A and B are shown apart, each in its own frame.
Chain A
Amino acid sequence: GNSVTQMEGPVTLSEEAFLTINCTYTATGYPSLFWYVQYPGEGLQLLLKATKADDKGSNKGFEATYRKETTSFHLEKGSVQVSDSAVYFCALSVMNRDDKIIFGKGTRLHILP
């Protein structure tokens, strides 16, 4: 079946540090891949997405590249800010009869000033 595995948190970094949150997936067919972010007290919102192999999604300084050979979609940011503190969800969707998004369990990120 389809599934997403992402690194467990919490992840704690100092401001301006480099961030990587790992995400790997298992999917039948050709998935689209997403990163969603949930700020405290809010619902999830799309951060970035990639729809085919080698695509790079980017937004707000975050990037992730769809790597079919390693079935990965790792989230990176070169210099994090306190305002990036949130929970990050990796997700996938495979177009089939049951069109749904499969979410990972989320990684909580704390950025210290």
Chain B
Amino acid sequence: DAGITQSPRYKITETGRQVTLMCHQTWSHSYMFWYRQDLGHGLRLIYYSAAADITDKGEVPDGYVVSRSKTENFPLTLESATRSQTSVYFCASGAGGTLSTDTQYFGPGTRLTVL
């Protein structure tokens, strides 16, 4: 399917477990982003990537790991999940270039609950 997809859409896990959230885009966009959305905080950037094998920290990177071996995939891993990581996670992509005028395209989100 064309566009940007996330899997799973819903995930329940336990404290201390490792969890990987998947993100796949079919546009060959250079940039990809991971955000978390929490009530009262809006949208906060976790990590982003300007191209394959290039990643950088966002506003709230602690407890998360990303990789980008292929342009189209940008998985987010919670190495040891904590209750504070219960959130809705959104992946986004953008064509890049002059990023300041670029549009980001968002996936449908993954709702993660850590018990």
A positions within 8 Å CB-CB of B: 31-32, 34, 41-46, 49, 51, 89, 93-95, 98-101, 103-106
B43 touches A103 (CB 8 A): yes
Smallest Cβ-Cβ distance to B107: which chain A residue: A43
Are B40 and A43 within 8 A (Cβ)? no
**B60 in contact (CB, < 8 A):** no
Q: A95-B98, A100-B48 are in contact. Are A89 and B104 (CB under 8 A)?
A: no
Q: Which of B45, B50, B92, B99 has the most CB of A within 10 A?
A: B99
Q: Please pick, from A43, A51, A98, A104, the residue contacting B42 in the complex, using a CB distance under 8 A.
A: A104
B61 at the A interface (CB under 8 A): no
Interface check B69, CB cutoff 8 A: no
Given the complex, which residues of A lie within 8 Å of B43, measured CB to CB? Answer: 44, 89, 103, 106
With contacts A100-B58, A103-B43 taken as known, whether A95 is within 8 angstroms of B106 at the C-beta atoms is: no
Q: What 6 A-B pairs have minimum CB-CB distances, sorted nearest first?
A: A43-B106, A95-B100, A105-B42, A99-B99, A103-B43, A44-B106
Complex contact B90–A44 (CB within 8 A): yes
Interface, chain B (partner A; CB < 8 A): 33, 40-43, 45, 48, 50, 56, 58, 90, 92, 98-109
**Bound: A32/B97 CA distance, A:** 14
Q: How many whole Å from A37's CB to the nearest CB in chain B?
A: 11
Contact B100 A49 (CB under 8 A): no
Inter-chain CA distance A89–B106, complex, in Å, is: 13
24 contacts between A and B (CB under 8 A): A32-B101, A41-B108, A42-B108, A43-B90, A43-B107, A43-B109, A44-B43, A44-B92, A44-B104, A44-B106, A46-B103, A49-B101, A49-B103, A89-B42, A93-B100, A94-B100, A95-B99, A98-B56, A99-B100, A100-B45, A101-B104, A103-B42, A105-B41, A106-B43
Q: In the complex the two chains form, what is the Cα distance from A34 to B41 in whole Å?
A: 18
